[in-house]
C-alpha cells in the first residue's frame, strides 16, 4: 500500500481485493444442518397442505355430479368414499377401470 497522500478517497489500486476465507468444517456442518432443516420444513408444509390422502375404502357408488366449466351439466362420477388414518371421511372420483378394481376394505392412496 502506498502512503497516505492526504486525499479523502484512496487512489485506485491502493486497496487490495479481499481474500476469500475458506470454510472450516464447523461452517460446512452448520450450512448442512440449515439446509436439512429447510428441506424438512418444506416437506412438513407440503404434507400438511395436501392432507392425508390414503385410507380404507368404506363405500362405492356411481353418482351424478353437477360440473360447471364452460357450462353446467351432470357428469357421472365413480365415487369412492374412504376413511383416512386420522378418522376423516374423504370422497374421490376415479376412472371406471380403477373403480371396478377397488373392493370395500382395500387400502387406497388418493
Question: pLDDT of the chain along its 110 residues, tens only?
Answer: 555 566 666 666 666 767 888 889 999 999 999 999 999 999 888 877 776 667 888 889 888 888 787 888 888 888 888 888 777 788 888 888 888 888 888 888 75
> Distance from CA of residue 91 to its chain's centroid?
22
Tell me the backbone φ, ψ of residue 7, rounded to 5 degrees.
-75, 150
Q: Residue 33's pLDDT is what?
A: 97
The CA distance from 26 to 103, in Å, is 55
The CA distance from 63 to 94, in Å, is 12
Q: Count Cβ atoms below 10 Å from residue 80 Cβ, excluding itself.
A: 23
Model pTM score: 0.46
> What three-state secondary structure class fits 89?
strand
Q: Residue 42's pLDDT is what?
A: 94
Amino acid at each position: 500500500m502506498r502512503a497516505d497522500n492526504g486525499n479523502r478517497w484512496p487512489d485506485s489500486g491502493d486497496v487490495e481485493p479481499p481474500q476469500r476465507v475458506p470454510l472450516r468444517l464447523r461452517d460446512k456442518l452448520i450450512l448442512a444442518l440449515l439446509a436439512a432443516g429447510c428441506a424438512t420444513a418444506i416437506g412438513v408444509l407440503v404434507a400438511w397442505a395436501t392432507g392425508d390422502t390414503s385410507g380404507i375404502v368404506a363405500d362405492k357408488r356411481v353418482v351424478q355430479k353437477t360440473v360447471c366449466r364452460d357450462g353446467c351439466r351432470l357428469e357421472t362420477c365413480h365415487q369412492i368414499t374412504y376413511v383416512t388414518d386420522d378418522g376423516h371421511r374423504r370422497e374421490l372420483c376415479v376412472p371406471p377401470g380403477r373403480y371396478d378394481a377397488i373392493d370395500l376394505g382395500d387400502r387406497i392412496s388418493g
